[in-house]
Amino acid sequence: MRVYLDNAATSWPKPEAVYLACDRYAREVGAAAGRGAHRHAAEAQRVVDGARQACAQLLDARDPRRIVWTANGTDALNLALHGILREGDRVVTTVVEHNSVLRPLADLAARRRIDVQFVPCDDEGFCDPDDFTPLLKRRVRLVAVSHASNVTGAVQDLEAVAHRARRAGALLLVDAAQTVGHLPWSIDQLAPDLVAASAHKGLLGPLGLGVLHVGPEAQDQLRPVRQGGGGEDSLSPFPPQRLPDRWEAGNLNVPALAGLQAAAEFLRAQGLHAIAQHERQLVARLREGLAPIPGVKVYGPAAPERRAAVVSVGIDGYDPQDAAAILDASFGVQCRAGLHCAPRIHQALGTANAGGLVRFSPGWSTSLEDVDAAVAAVAALAEHRL
């Protein structure tokens, strides 16, 4: 038996259409995009453009050219941070952030003297939008915030944060790794300056691909962080300036883009509202099943509508890594243990010294039976019935 509850790390299984699209591209097309005049090169370019269009429609972003393909979500965040920030800039971020934000900021603080200020969170993982206000009184270049915590699942009030960032004249970067594909929300409506996400999580695409949406205010400020070959103007020593080519040096991962296009079309057909409702039902069942177990502490918001599809727990008497290994080996329940690459929120929750938490993250294909199997396994583990 395999009960897969690690979708916050990467989604599995993918829709069948994703496997078929990747396989068809690799077997029947195989060409690089933007680097040839033959028919299969043209088809490769159609895949790139089709994926861009499908992703923009899913994200409710009116201009597909603002979708920039990156190597992964971490790469998208690195492009945003290293491309926007200049010597001596000030950044406001939160203790909720993933190391994909924290580590680039630490590097920039050391090399470019970037001043980084952190907004705290409460014991559910929420940041109070009002806590941003005093930090924004001095000129701030960028506000960087995770839409949802990958530890507690708490979904931040992005609208309130965006309002405060705009009022202060700061750009807004959203790490949407845990919400894109899981929750319905609109880039055009919220109008953040930069949105980064992985293709392989809620978007249900393959590994090795990320997305950065670049808004109009950020467009001229975002410097490329790599240079190289492209499909046009090879005589110029500089990269093209037009969207999105400026930031897409080198060959794109076209097989993954074929899969992502299929995944985005699948998500649109299913409907993000329906997927969000299904995942809320799973989260509610998980939390209600785990909370009464003696020796188990459940973290994060009680209300399913205020959280992404993440439920993290501490189990008395067990190191999180040991607990996860036993759940897999003895019960076939696969989850994630540790600090989840988000050390500051574990420090805020008081779980860092204990090695973090055990995280369960259901997805689009998870069933109620899968959730019940996980709850039963944790109950047996907590009661030492192995």
Catalytic residues: 341
Secondary structure percentages of the chain, helix, strand, coil, to 5 = 40, 15, 40
CB atoms within 10 A of CB 268: 12
* Rounded Cα–Cα distance for residues 199 and 69 (Å): 10
Buried/exposed code over 88-125 (b: 16+ C-beta within 10 A; e: otherwise): ebbbbbbbbbbbbbbbbbeebeeeeebebbbbebeebb
Q: Are strands 90-94 and 115-119 parallel, antiparallel or unpaired?
A: parallel
Encoded tokens for 290: 């785990």
Q: What is the per-residue burial (b if ≥16 Cβ within 10 Å, else e) of 285-321? A: bbbebbeebebbebbbbeebebbbbbbbbbbeebebe
Going along the chain, which residue ranges are E strands? 3-4, 67-70, 90-94, 115-119, 142-146, 171-175, 194-198, 210-214, 296-299, 311-315, 333-334, 336-338, 357-360
C-alpha to C-alpha distance for 128 and 131, rounded to whole angstroms: 5
Cis (ω within 30 of 0) for the bond into 134? no
Measured N-to-C along each axis, helices 254-270 and 16-24 cross at an angle, to the nearest 10 degrees, of: 150
Please tell me the distance from the alpha carbon of residue 346 to that of residue 338, in angstroms, as a whole number: 10
